[in-house]
Amino acid sequence: MSIRLLQISAYVLVLSALLLQRAEAASPPPALYTRSQALQGASAFEWKCASCHGHHLQGGVGPALEGPVFASAKSGFTIQQIYEFLSVEMPAYAPGSLTRTQYLDITAFLLQQNGYPAGSRALTDRIASESTVPLLFQAVVQAPAGVAKSRAGAGKPLAIPRTNAP
């Protein structure tokens, strides 16, 4: 095979990989938790996490936990990494002190606040521990009238993701 042919093949391969990546990025985020879990998670977050991370996850003495800076491609967090970390080391004043259900609910709430849709299947310890799904902030479209973006403890309806709203 000539060098020229090799170069062309390499370009084709790279181009294909890029296109595949774009296709993946454009695909709707999966529904990994239930609405009920996110609601429970909002309550647990308010009680156990908001003092450091802010009532709206906007950050305070601890980092913001929603938005394009936190859940960025540059950060490259997966759901498994976030779940493993927070269920072992959080809250900082008493790591590991919450119940497994509370950690799952809080993970569901973080997913919801970063634009991931709720679904019919509950997030389980096994799913969260094995999920290689990247945590990438999903832009939120303007909510329809009467529907606001959900915030911790506010008891408002859920966020409306750009795609795949359940």
| Interaction of residue 28 with another protein, rule CB under 8 A | no
Count of residues touching another protein (by CB under 8 A): 26
Of the candidates 30, 46, 47, 51, which one interacts with another protein according to CB under 8 A?
A: 51
| Alpha-carbon gap, residue 28 to 24, rounded angstroms | 8
Of 33, 73, 56, nearest to 113 by C-alpha is 56
Element (H, E) at 34: strand 33-34
Counted residue by residue, the chain has a size of 166
Of the candidates 43, 81, 101, 164, which one interacts with another protein according to CB under 8 A?
81
Residues 141/162, Cβ–Cβ less than 8 Å: yes
Range in contact with another protein (rule: CB under 8 A) among 16-24, 31-39, 87-95, 138-146: 87-95
The binding site for another protein (CB under 8 A) comprises: 51-52, 59-64, 69-70, 72, 75-77, 81-82, 84-85, 88-89, 92-97
